[in-house]
């Protein structure tokens, strides 16, 4: 294999890094095929049928191009998000799209093949080191199944050789390039769907430059923080706290499951099933807030989920640098313009922060170390910018221990370095 790549296939974003013969790395930009013009590609896949000369062809687009293709023809295209979130869920094996049955592996493979076209490399010529989370996302995930499906997806996409490494280990390899002396490092890797922590001993220049001491992971990260904002700010405006009646009886709360799906961007598209839309319409007929339920139906039918989640993510990002922000979203006559204070946001995510802190403790316990045994803490991923998250690490390890940098590409860079070291 002549090409060595590190590939960070993420829940929200994906990154590709090339390692050359000298061990130097270079992030492959993704603007060569109309995809995202930058170092990262949104992990989005759009599928649609193209009809020409009596033949029907299934076409695809990824990243920003996927969004544009979908907006061009939302009725006859399908936008697929957060594919990685389903890898370890045994209940999700295949889905029906555009009149054909497709496995999850086939959808991921389609995305990966398009990603390789965007960076200008043929999968068959590539030796890839691919990241996987310590703990896959979802309820009661089967981590072995998740890795097996990940490998199968790359094989179906035609990759010549694939190795799998833990994502925080990839970030750790990248951080090792800064070291000039042995150090014990805790790596915190915050993705869209998972947060992983690894304790590693780095000894640059030795026969064993990296020794993994302990790992822990939890299936929550940036998407979970987004869902808290949706739950507290958006869902009440769409009828979550309203009631309805059955045959004139006692008022009943509207089904909370609709709003659970609303708060998870990869689940909202599943609500477009005719049965679910009929159920919402039936409840609205006797509901105390029928207009709000009609707005919920319109958001689902007109597939405004992605625009809504982008507005929520932007508000969350603003709160990393400001004490308050305004969540703004508008679709036809439905409008949100609500102020959010950082202190309220931190109260909403308090249960998630506790789970993150617990995972850090488990990683230390697995390594047989206390906080004093950690020389440096390296944080990567967009969620590492959230002040309340950084506070967890300052309280355990002190400000002087914490390092960051390359938050969105460090995992892929490290994976490429791992691949180069094994050749």
Cβ-based burial of 394 (10 A; exposed 0-12, middle 13-18, buried ≥19): middle
Instruction: Give me Rg for the CA atoms of the chain.
Output: 22
3-state SS assignment for residue 399: helix
pTM of the model: 0.80
Tens-digit pLDDT string for the chain (423 aa):
578 999 999 888 899 999 987 778 889 887 645 456 578 898 999 999 888 777 888 899 998 888 888 878 777 888 888 889 889 998 888 788 777 889 999 999 999 999 999 998 999 999 999 999 888 887 788 999 999 999 999 999 999 899 999 888 888 888 888 888 899 999 998 888 889 999 999 887 777 888 889 999 898 888 899 999 999 999 999 999 999 999 888 999 999 999 988 887 666 766 778 888 999 999 999 999 999 999 999 988 887 887 898 899 999 999 999 999 999 999 988 999 999 999 999 999 999 999 999 999 999 999 999 999 999 999 988 888 899 999 999 999 998 888 876 678 889 999 999 998 877
Q: Token pair of 54, please?
A: 């009596």
Measuring CA to CA, how many Å separate 4 from each of 128, 182, 385? 6, 27, 30
| Mean confidence (pLDDT) of the chain | 89
Domains of the chain in start order, with CATH, are: 3-167+414-421 (3.30.420.40)
Contact 38, 122 (CB under 8 A): no
For residue 2, give the nearest of 146, 177, 125, 143 by alpha carbon.
125
- Report the alpha-carbon distance of residue 258 to residue 274 in Å, rounded: 14
Q: Are 1 and 126 in contact (CB under 8 A)?
A: yes
Rounded to the nearest angstrom, the gap between the alpha carbon of residue 255 and the centroid of all alpha carbons in its chain is 27
Give the up-direction half-sphere exposure of residue 196: CA atoms within 13 A in the CB hemisphere: 27
Distance from first CA to last CA of the chain, Å, rounded? 10
CA-CA distances (angstroms) from residue 109 to 80, 130, 156, 165, 382? 13, 13, 6, 19, 25
């Amino acid at each position: 294999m002549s090409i060595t790549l590190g590939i960070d296939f993420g829940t929200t974003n994906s990154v590709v890094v090339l390692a050359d013969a000298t061990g130097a790395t270079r992030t492959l930009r993704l603007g060569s095929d109309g995809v995202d013009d930058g170092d990262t590609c949104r992990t989005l896949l759009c599928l649609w049928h193209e009809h020409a000369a009596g033949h029907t062809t299934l076409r695809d687009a990824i990243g920003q191009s996927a969004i544009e293709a979908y907006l061009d023809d939302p009725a006859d295209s399908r936008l697929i998000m957060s594919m990685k979130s389903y890898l370890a869920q045994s209940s999700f094996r295949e889905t029906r799209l555009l009149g054909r049955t497709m496995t999850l592996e086939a959808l991921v493979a389609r995305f990966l093949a398009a990603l390789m076209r965007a960076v200008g490399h043929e999968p068959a010529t590539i030796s890839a080191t691919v990241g996987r989370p310590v703990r896959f996302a979802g309820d009661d995930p089967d981590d072995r199944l998740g890795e097996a499906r990940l490998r199968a997806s790359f094989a179906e996409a035609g990759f010549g050789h694939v190795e799998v490494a833990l994502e925080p280990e990839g970030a750790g390899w990248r951080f090792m390039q800064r070291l000039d002396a042995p150090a014990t490092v805790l790596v915190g890797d915050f993705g869209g769907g998972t947060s992983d922590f690894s304790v590693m001993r780095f000894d640059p220049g030795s026969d064993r430059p990296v020794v993994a001491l302990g790992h822990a992971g939890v299936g929550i990260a940036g998407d979970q923080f987004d869902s808290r904002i949706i739950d507290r700010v958006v869902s009440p405006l769409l009828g979550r706290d309203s009631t309805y009646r059955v045959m004139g009886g006692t008022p009943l709360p509207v089904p909370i499951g609709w709003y659970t799906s609303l708060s998870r961007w990869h689940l909202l598209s599943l609500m477009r099933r005719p049965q679910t839309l009929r159920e919402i319409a039936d409840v609205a007929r006797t509901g105390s807030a029928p207009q709000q339920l009609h707005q919920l139906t319109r958001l689902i039918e007109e597939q405004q989920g992605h625009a809504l989640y982008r507005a929520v993510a932007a508000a969350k990002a603003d709160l990393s640098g400001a004490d308050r922000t305004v969540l703004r979203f508008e679709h036809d006559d439905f409008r949100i313009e609500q102020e959010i204070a950082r202190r309220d946001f931190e109260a909403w995510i308090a249960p998630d922060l506790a789970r993150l802190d617990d995972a850090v403790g488990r990683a230390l316990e697995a390594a047989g170390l206390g906080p004093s045994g950690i020389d440096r803490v390296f944080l990567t991923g967009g969620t590492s910018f959230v002040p309340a998250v950084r506070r967890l690490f300052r309280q355990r390890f002190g400000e002087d221990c914490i390092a960051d940098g390359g938050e969105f590409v460090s995992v892929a860079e490290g994976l490429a370095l791992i691949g180069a070291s094994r050749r």
